[in-house]
Structure 1
Amino acid sequence: MSVRWLYNASLIGALALLVHLCMVDLAICSSNFTDQLALLSFKSSIKNDPNNVLSNWTKETNFCGWAGVLCSRRRQRVTGLLLGNMNLGGTISPHVGPMPPAIFNKSSMVRIGLSSNAFSGNLPTNNDFFLPNLEFLFLDENQLTGNIPSSLSNSSMLTMLTLATNLFTGPVPKHLGSLKHLEVLHLFQNQLTNEPGSIERSFLTDLTNCTSLVDLYVGQNKLSGTLPNSIGNLSNSLQELDVSENQLIGTIPKEIGSLRNLTLLSLAVNNLNGNIPSTLGEIKSLQRLYLGGNNFHGLIPNEICRLSNLGELYAGQNKLSGSIPSCIENLRGLQVMKLHHNKLTFIPSSLWNLETLRLLNLSFNSLGGSLDPNIRASRVLEIMDLSWNQISGSIPRVIGSFQSLTSLNLSRNSFSGPIPNTMGNLITLDYLDLSHNNLSGQIPKSLEKLLHIQYMNFSCNKLTGEIPNEGPFMNLTSRSFRENEALCGNPIFKVPPCASNSSKKSMIKINLRYILPVIALMLIFSIGVFIVKRNHGNNVQSQNLIDLYATTEHRMISHLELRRATDDFCEANLLGVGSYGSVYKGVLSDGTIVAVKVLNLQLEGAFRSFDIECKVLRTTRHRNLVGVITTCSNPELRALVLQYMSNGSLEMWLYSHNSCLNLLQRIDIMIDAALAVEYLHYGQLEPVVHCDLKPSNVLLDEDMVAHVADFGIAKILAENKTAIQTRTLGTIGYIAPEYGSEGRVSTSGDIYSYGMMLLETFTRKKPTDQMFSAEINLRQWVSTSLPNKIMEIVDGGLLRMQNGRDMVASQSILLAILEVGLECTGELPVERSDIKKVLGKLNKIKKQFLQFQSN
């Protein structure tokens, strides 16, 4: 009896356990099914998935193996969704917004990462937002709108919350202050406001309860009011605080000095006023201090010199006065100092003891006195701008020992005396402006060694003597030398010729430099003809001598060597095919990598095209033109051996799926192309019209410097600056209207082609794109979109690269660039800009862009 009872009891226990396990399994299955449904609901809201990230999100596969989905090991519940930077697009609602609850109503969810996509709509509110165990929420860089839901405070385990770079409006929820574990809060670049009154009671004071806070970014919003005194009560762990680009007023509370662990403090671009508080000197850990773009006045406090870890100091565009503190040399790690647009009056000599300083901008102040001739030379300073001040005396000779200088601007001062010869040692310099001073004497010929320079200006001084004519001076215009006392030299600079003695010397130089090589060329050609005739029929390969167009400094090259260099012109080395032939990559016997342009002699006009290109390349030499190394010409082959451009063409970069040019690179490329066009139009006795400017004819070298190529249909104009051409010139879409209607070739036709190329470079739309028709072309499309729809027509890849930066600044830069393109593409030649004006505007735009980047 007892045995039967034991047996029955065991059976009942086993059945109970089995029922319990089944119930657990059912619960798990039910929960898992709910998770799957939520994820599929989320997928259904995705309207754009260019990378097919969600291709394995199907009912037939386990959702824990889906891309971007994280699950718990034991119960297989969804704990995370990480799909950042996938270019996904869609609306938050209906499944992820004002729900049917789905992704934002999962108690198991720990991580959500949907940054850098294109999601739009509102976040769910109230009960629809229930993520009690959520630790990480990344929704930055989307297009989300509406208010930030106060129900976020229910996610009490949150440590990282990033909602930056969206379109959120309304106040910052005060309840965020209840998130005790919050370490990172990024709300920058939205349209957030605060409650009426000061900012103190809206949210900053409440955030003092977030005792673990490390990063707080609320810049680039519409926050107004004053900074509260309670700012000093923020977390002791706070390392980065950014409230820049808002509408804050009032002074900086002295209590801010209590934030002893700050490494970044940015209050820039507000309406703050008063003195810079001396208590900032108590934040010894501070590495970056941004105070620019406010109304601060008074002296720069000496306490700033206590910030021994400071690397960047931005306090430009204020009303600061007096001297830069002499103790500034104590900032041993300072790399960037921008104090421009203030009312500062004196530079202490101790400033030059800053051994790590890379950028110094003190422009637009009231700095007086002279520069100490014994200032300490810096080995790392790259940019020095002292323009628009009242500095007098001579330019110290030691300036030539600043080995890393790339930009030096001393314009709009009262410097006197000669330009130091030592400036020729600044071999890395690409920008030099000494204009509007009282400099005298000659321009040193040592500056001819500055081969990397792109801009030099000596105008409005008292300079005399001959303008150097080698190196970078070959690319300058008269604007660089205007309003000086007695400069002389090349008439292209609009100065009188130098005195007779120097003229005789110049003539001797010209004779030695040009006439002798011509005689030598004729001798070489005669010998070549003699050898060809003597050996005709014996050995065809030995007769392929260098063409008469090659200069004496270029060695001869045979047909055989070109065949070897290109592996017998194999297809693997083919770089491209043009109107009259093909271009191959080759390696000469000395290891030089070259591009070999081989003409198809069967095509009508090929010989003429070859002769034109040789003629143009023989008479032109500029750093932004593709250089000819040599030529090879015989009855079987006509080839140009050109510099090899390792980074391909502008066209390749614009339409590549693997790479994208950033904004600065595009500006630089268009400046390079404009420099080449300027040289063709104005750098010689007779203007050269390229006739076929387009992105495929702009090639990029290993340093991404642009070179204009393909002069096969170029025109060298006579004095009337126009020519009549009966055959079609150029490429459809880039041809000026008058080429087709009148057959009239002029430099303004190149301007039109350049303008179309500029518009294409920044919109990534070809003039022949299918979207254009007889009713609307690329120019009209851009014109009707400006200014309000500019961000809709600019290359999307370019905008993605700019994302997170000052988009307002980027928009103004892009607007200015596209307006230049429109000025170049007028229907009539008289409506188009001149290439010199284009170049000036692009250089100004580049300078503004660099200023935006450094602010």
Structure 2
Amino acid sequence: MNLFNSPLAITTIFIFIFLTIFTPHKATAATCLPDEEAGLLGFKSAIRSDPSGILKNWIPGTDCCKWNGVECHFNSTRVQRISLTGQPDENPKSILSGTISPTLSKLRLLDGLYLFDLKNISGPFPTFLFQLPNIEYVYLENNNLSGRIPENIGNLTKLYALSLVGNRFTGTLPSSITELTHLTQLKLDNNSLSGTLPKALNKLVNLNYLSLEGNHFQGTIPAFSSNLRSLRLSRNNFSGGIPASISKLASNLAYLELGHNSFSGRIPDFLGKFKALDTLDLSWNRFTGTVPASFANLTKIFNLDLSNNLLVDPFPEMNVKGIESLDLSNNSFHLGKIPKWVFSSPIIFSLKLANCGIKMKIEDFKPSETFFYDYIDLSGNEISGNAISLVNSTQYLVGFWAARNNLKFDLGKLKFGERFRVLDLSHNAVFGKVPNSVVGLQKLNVSYNHLCGQIPKNTFPASAFVGNDCLCGSPLNPCKKPS
């Protein structure tokens, strides 16, 4: 008897074909190499806490190219990069706690490691990176890594970008970092690094972005490659003058931020040749003398901060097309009036001219655009008049400081927008009652004016209200009951 003609054989063959076609099975092309899967799962096992489930789909035996934060090479199952990002501001649980497992060294084709805002990733600099022959991009930002940057960091010769922003790294910047000649970005902000900078940083000829803000670096500024577009060194302990070598950056530099250091001497005239300059921050240093007249050539500058230095008159007439933020506060300027080039800017959002020797009526300050203002500081001048029109015409105002002037108006007529948080009108001639709307502010000071009446229920200290004609109620003395 021919078995293939029997009903049983036909049924068996049909079932086999059906199961072959329709039964799910794991395609070999969709899975990781066992070694790479082990490397990734080793990373997951070193994570002690994952409250928002960032790694919840990292499941053995599944396609690792579809795991959250894992990206594979095109048309391949080989892992190319890992990118995991927390969102602590939006979701406090979107963090990872643990360490960076060295098993990631099994990912031999990895070219990028991006760990952003995970907050509780701790441990030292991940030295397994030295075992990855193709690593090009390392971003370990806003985590909790600590210790020293390895002395042999210069062995990562293929790096195009290195960012260790927002960790707790200590010690000096190794001189071998000057061997990373492919680097285009070096970002080490907000750590606890110290010492002087390597003198041979100008060997980094491809570097266009250098940011070392918020550390404890000291000494003078070395020379840099002329390709640099952004130099951010604020909030350190650098000293000396701005060296002549900086003049070589004139053609490309757009951001020069040296604020909150111990620089001294005069502001060099050559800065007026930086035609591409967008942002210049020299605040909180000890610069002396006048601001160079060549600053009139900075037609593209949008952000200028020269505050808290020892600068003197005259201040040059600028030829800007529009400025976004200006801070000249706390020098020895006697501007007389708010400069006309500030009036005409259609995009300004921050104007800070505290203690700038301004003598004018505030009604004469008629900017072409007030809608976008968020910070106005005119404290410590001789400005008189009524500020109602100015303040009430700003949609996004966050803070208005005008202490120690001669302003005179009814406080009750001020409008506080949704974003309004800070108001300081102390030591003026403001009158009227304290409106209920002030309770929504974060900071308030209306002391030493001519205000009267009961203070609305609030959480401000008594110092916010003292020195007025007849204010009463908490936090001052209770109001007298009518007899």
Cα offset for 1:396? 4.3
Q: Does the 8 A contact of 2:231 with 2:255 survive in 1?
A: yes
For the residues of structure 1 that align with 2:56 and 2:463, how far apart are their CA atoms? Answer: 60
Tell me the residue number matched to 1:171: 172
Of 78, 87, 99, 1:91 maps to: 99
For the residues of structure 2 that align with 1:53 and 1:277, how far apart are their CA atoms? Answer: 51
SS of alignment partner, residue 331 of structure 1: coil
CA RMSD of aligned residues (A): 4.0
Q: Does the 8 A contact of 2:455 with 2:474 survive in 1?
A: no
Cα offset for 1:254? 3.2
Q: Deviations over 1:690-740 (max 9, x none)?
A: xxxxxxxxxxxxxxxxxxxxxxxxxxxxx9xxxxxxxxxxxxxxxxxxxxx
For the residues of structure 2 that align with 1:221 and 1:134, how far apart are their CA atoms? Answer: 26
Would you say 1:249 and 2:243 are equivalent positions?
no
Cα offset for 1:453? 8.8
Cα offset for 1:187? 1.0
- Summarize the Cα distance change of 1:175–1:200 in structure 2 as closer, same or farther, 3 Å threshold: closer
Cα offset for 1:345? 2.6
Tell me the residue number matched to 2:215: 221
Tell me the residue number matched to 1:385: 377
Tell me the residue number matched to 2:264: 273
Q: Does the 8 A contact of 2:330 with 2:356 survive in 1?
A: no
For the residues of structure 1 that align with 2:315 and 2:336, how far apart are their CA atoms? Answer: 6
For the residues of structure 2 that align with 1:170 and 1:480, how far apart are their CA atoms? Answer: 44
Of 281, 290, 294, 1:290 maps to: 281
- Summarize the Cα distance change of 1:130–1:453 in structure 2 as closer, same or farther, 3 Å threshold: closer
Would you say 1:427 and 2:415 are equivalent positions?
yes
Tell me the residue number matched to 2:320: 331
Tell me the residue number matched to 1:582: none
- Summarize the Cα distance change of 1:303–1:424 in structure 2 as closer, same or farther, 3 Å threshold: farther
Tell me the residue number matched to 2:350: 359
- Summarize the Cα distance change of 1:457–1:45 in structure 2 as closer, same or farther, 3 Å threshold: closer
For the residues of structure 1 that align with 2:295 and 2:253, how far apart are their CA atoms? Answer: 14
Q: Deviations over 1:651-691 (max 9, x none)?
A: xxxxxxxxxxxxxxxxxxxxxxxxxx9499946849xxxxx
- Summarize the Cα distance change of 1:254–1:376 in structure 2 as closer, same or farther, 3 Å threshold: farther
- Summarize the Cα distance change of 1:302–1:84 in structure 2 as closer, same or farther, 3 Å threshold: same
- Summarize the Cα distance change of 1:475–1:37 in structure 2 as closer, same or farther, 3 Å threshold: closer
Q: Does the 8 A contact of 2:140 with 2:164 survive in 1?
A: yes
Q: Does the 8 A contact of 1:434 with 1:457 survive in 2?
A: yes
Of 493, 496, 501, 2:471 maps to: 493
For the residues of structure 1 that align with 2:436 and 2:315, how far apart are their CA atoms? Answer: 35
Q: Does the 8 A contact of 1:320 with 1:342 survive in 2?
A: yes
- Summarize the Cα distance change of 1:69–1:425 in structure 2 as closer, same or farther, 3 Å threshold: same
Tell me the residue number matched to 2:122: 120
> 1 or 2, which has the higher helix percentage?
1
Q: What amino acid maps onto 1:90 in structure 2?
A: G
Q: Does the 8 A contact of 2:288 with 2:309 survive in 1?
A: yes
Would you say 1:411 and 2:400 are equivalent positions?
no
Q: What amino acid maps onto 2:95 in structure 1?
A: N
Tell me the residue number matched to 2:203: 209
Tell me the residue number matched to 2:184: 183
- Summarize the Cα distance change of 1:161–1:46 in structure 2 as closer, same or farther, 3 Å threshold: same
SS of alignment partner, residue 343 of structure 1: coil
- Summarize the Cα distance change of 1:481–1:58 in structure 2 as closer, same or farther, 3 Å threshold: closer
Cα offset for 1:271? 0.9
Q: Does the 8 A contact of 1:257 with 1:281 survive in 2?
A: no
Superposed counterparts of 1:298-377, under 5 Å:
298-325=289-316, 327-328=317-318, 330-351=319-340, 352-355=342-345, 356-363=347-354, 365=355, 367=357, 369-370=359-360, 374-377=364-367
Q: Normalising by the residue count of structure 1, what TM-score does the alignment of the two structures yield?
A: 0.45
Q: What amino acid maps onto 2:471 in structure 1?
A: F
SS of alignment partner, residue 81 of structure 2: strand
Q: What amino acid maps onto 2:336 in structure 1?
A: I
Q: What amino acid maps onto 2:124 in structure 1?
A: N
Instruction: Structure 2: give runs of 5+ residues left out of the alignment.
Output: 1-28, 87-93
For the residues of structure 1 that align with 2:58 and 2:229, how far apart are their CA atoms? Answer: 40
Q: Does the 8 A contact of 1:263 with 1:285 survive in 2?
A: yes
For the residues of structure 1 that align with 2:105 and 2:415, how far apart are their CA atoms? Answer: 59
Q: Does the 8 A contact of 1:386 with 1:409 survive in 2?
A: yes
Superposed counterparts of 1:233-632, under 5 Å:
234-236=225-227, 238-259=228-249, 260-325=251-316, 327-328=317-318, 330-351=319-340, 352-355=342-345, 356-363=347-354, 365=355, 367=357, 369-370=359-360, 374-377=364-367, 379-380=369-370, 381-389=373-381, 391=382, 395-396=384-385, 400-401=389-390, 403-404=393-394, 406=397, 407-413=399-405, 415=406, 419=408, 427-428=415-416, 433-436=424-427, 443=431, 455=444, 457=446, 459=448, 493=471
Superposed counterparts of 1:26-45, under 5 Å:
32-45=33-46
Cα offset for 1:371? 5.1
Tell me the residue number matched to 2:16: none
Q: Deviations over 1:104-131 (max 9, x none)?
A: 4643111212222222122344x87222
**How many residues matched?**
432
Q: What amino acid maps onto 1:427 in structure 2?
A: K
Q: Deviations over 1:19-78 (max 9, x none)?
A: xxxxxxxxx9xx922222222222221211222333343443343343322223455222
Q: Deviations over 1:129-159 (max 9, x none)?
A: 2222122212111111222234443443322
Q: What amino acid maps onto 1:177 in structure 2?
A: T
Superposed counterparts of 1:635-654, under 5 Å:
none
Q: Deviations over 1:311-336 (max 9, x none)?
A: 222222222222433x13x2232122
Cα offset for 1:419? 2.3
* Larger Rg belongs to: 1
Q: Does the 8 A contact of 1:373 with 1:398 survive in 2?
A: yes
Tell me the residue number matched to 2:161: 160
Q: Does the 8 A contact of 1:475 with 1:683 survive in 2?
A: no
For the residues of structure 2 that align with 1:349 and 1:40, how far apart are their CA atoms? Answer: 62
Q: What amino acid maps onto 2:164 in structure 1?
A: L
SS of alignment partner, residue 104 of structure 2: coil
For the residues of structure 1 that align with 2:400 and 2:291, how far apart are their CA atoms? Answer: 25
Superposed counterparts of 1:698-717, under 5 Å:
none
For the residues of structure 2 that align with 1:200 and 1:156, how far apart are their CA atoms? Answer: 17
For the residues of structure 2 that align with 1:170 and 1:340, how far apart are their CA atoms? Answer: 35
Tell me the residue number matched to 2:73: 72
Q: What amino acid maps onto 1:122 in structure 2?
A: P
